[in-house]
């Protein structure tokens, strides 16, 4: 199959690109403007897969960029990763987020329609659920995102749903990722935040490698096992595999499905610190600080829909997460 990856050089895009190439039966193109990634990620995927793929450098919001990509590559399906993802920044610059994520996605769907490409897998997020009314979150849980970033994901989901309903043979899989973490086993590709990390695991690994002094733990009086926030951490390798299954599902089916991608198990911040200390054999100094605004106490997925529709389930565990994140961090202490 011919698959276009918007945002293909990013953290999740690069790992998915590698899996698509390792599958051996796919022709792939990565479209990226490198606004939050490095061309080096694509060079490393090429080396690791020992296979060629096409790259187009450009902004996916530019109609002439998309037209030229679709005209030359003629994808059967699109995996749509491109967009902005920082919750805090989205509170300060909501219009930028609506333009990059929502307007950009409308332009992409318009281009797909004009070129007769009717299959899309979209990077959504568990953040669309908002405060839990019950746990685990299943796909029917009410949607109530609490920040502009989350609302862009919610609006795009609805737009895709309407678009699919308007087309005779379109299909979409809305993958609601929980917390993607870890790195490829090779340690050649991984998560490479451009600024001080917002997310727990890259922050911990930068403390372990000595780039940051200590971890701030945001709150220890949540109603969880040890008082710290509990999340469903999904290994990037498993997440990439879910995309391969989702593309196949989209190609074989019609309609729109939202599907959780998680492990179904929650891990607290303190449990993650301990697991990383064991994997790295380093101490992670930390201080307990106040709660981070907008954080929920617990978040984890019901994962039966992914098993039923995609035949997919997470295989890697917390030990794999910490081992591969540490391998990537030590091999690339300053990123790409
Ligand atoms: P990332 O920033 O590493 O990847 C996004 C890629 O898109 C980058 O390579 C960036 O350069 C590119 N890009 C951004 N704007 C672009 C534009 N206008 N034109 C072309 N390329 C553009 O992020 P990621 O962690 O790989 O996330 C991928 C997707 O998954 C995003 O849509 C994100 O919202 C979603 N998601 C991520 C997480 C997470 O925790 N990482 C969780 C839930 C959902
Ligand atoms: N945390 C700390 N210290 C840090 C960073 C995080 O204690 O320096 C804690 C948080 O309070 C939370 C947990 O670690 O309890 C996980 O925080 P992350 O920032 O790693 O992840 P979030 O669950 O807050 O958010 C992530 C992505 C969102 C996405 C969401 C989906 O950043 O974009 O998962 O569930 F929407």
Task: Read off the pLDDT of residues 78-93 as tens digits, 9 standing for 90 and up.
Answer: 999 999 999 999 999 9
pLDDT > 90? residue 26: no
pLDDT > 90? residue 25: no
Candidates 115, 112, 126; CA nearest to 80 is 112
Task: Read off the pLDDT of residues 205-218 as tens digits, 9 standing for 90 and up.
Answer: 999 999 999 999 99
* Full-model pTM: 0.98
pLDDT at position 220 is 97
The Cα-based distances of 189 to 122, 149, 335 in angstroms read 22, 26, 9
Candidates 313, 141, 288, 314; CA nearest to 229 is 288
pLDDT > 90? residue 278: yes
Mean pLDDT (whole number) for 116-144 = 97
Of these residues, 149, 154, 177, 203, which one is catalytic?
149
pLDDT at position 184 is 98
Strands 230-231 and 267-268: antiparallel
What is the number of the ligand closest to the CA of 175? 1
pLDDT at position 288 is 98
pLDDT > 90? residue 294: no
Q: How far apart are CA 16 and CA 20, in angstroms?
A: 6
What is the number of the ligand closest to the CA of 39? 1
Q: Is-catalytic flag, 134?
A: no
pLDDT at position 41 is 98
Is residue 229 within 6 Å of ligand 2 at its C-beta? yes
Pocket test for ligand 2, best of 204, 218, 275, 288 (most atoms within 8 A of CB): 218
Mean pLDDT (whole number) for 301-310 = 98
Q: How far apart are CA 329 and CA 188, in angstroms?
A: 10
Q: How far apart are CA 211 and CA 209, in angstroms?
A: 6
pLDDT grade for 293, boundaries at 50, 70 and 90: confident
pLDDT at position 167 is 95
Domains in the chain: ranges and CATH: 3-183+233-262+301-314 (3.40.50.720)
- The rounded Å distance from CA 278 to ligand 1 centre is 30
Q: How far apart are CA 250 and CA 261, in angstroms?
A: 16
Query: What backbone phi and psi angles, to 5 degrees, belong to 4?
Result: -95, 130
Q: Which atom of ligand 2 is nearest to the CA of 87?
A: 33
Bond preceding residue 136 cis, omega within 30 of 0 = yes
pLDDT at position 219 is 97
Is residue 217 within 6 Å of ligand 2 at its C-beta? yes
């Amino acid at each position: 199959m011919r698959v276009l990856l918007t945002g293909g050089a990013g953290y999740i895009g690069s790992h998915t690109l590698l899996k698509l190439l390792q599958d051996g039966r796919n022709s792939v193109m990565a479209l990226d403007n490198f606004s939050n990634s490095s061309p080096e990620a694509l060079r490393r995927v090429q080396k690791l897969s020992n296979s060629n793929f096409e790259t187009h450098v450009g902004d996916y919001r530019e109609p002439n960029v998309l037209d030229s990509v679709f005209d030359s590559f003629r994808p059967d399906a699109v995996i749509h990763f491109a967009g902005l993802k920082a919750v805090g920044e989205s509170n300060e610059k909501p219009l930028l987020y609506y333009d990059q994520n929502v307007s950009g996605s409308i332009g992409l769907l318009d281009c797909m329609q004009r070129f007769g490409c009717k299959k899309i897998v979209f990077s959504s997020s568990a953040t669309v659920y908002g405060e839990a009314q019950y746990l685990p979150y299943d796909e029917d849980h009410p949607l109530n995102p609490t920040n502009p970033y989350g609302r862009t994901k919610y609006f795009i989901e609805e737009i895709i749903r309407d678009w699919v309903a308007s087309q005779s043979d379109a299909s979409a899989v809305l993958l609601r990722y929980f917390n993607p973490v870890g790195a490829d086993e090779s340690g050649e590709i991984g998560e490479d935040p451009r600024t001080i990390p917002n997310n727990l695991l890259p922050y911990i690994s930068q403390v372990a490698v000595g780039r940051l002094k200590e971890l701030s733990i945001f709150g220890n009086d949540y109603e969880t096992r040890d008082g710290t926030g509990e999340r469903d951490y999904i290994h990037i390798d498993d997440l990439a595999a879910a995309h391969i299954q989702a593309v196949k599902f989209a190609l074989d089916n019609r309609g729109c499905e939202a599907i959780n991608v998680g492990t179904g198990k929650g891990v607290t911040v303190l449990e993650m610190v301990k697991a990383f200390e064991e994997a790295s054999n380093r101490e992670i100094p930390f201080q307990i600080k106040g709660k981070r605004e907008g954080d929920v106490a617990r978040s984890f997925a019901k994962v039966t829909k992914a098993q039923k529709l995609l035949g997919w389930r997470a295989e890697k565990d917390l030990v794999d997460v910490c081992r591969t994140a540490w391998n990537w961090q030590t091999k690339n202490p300053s990123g790409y």
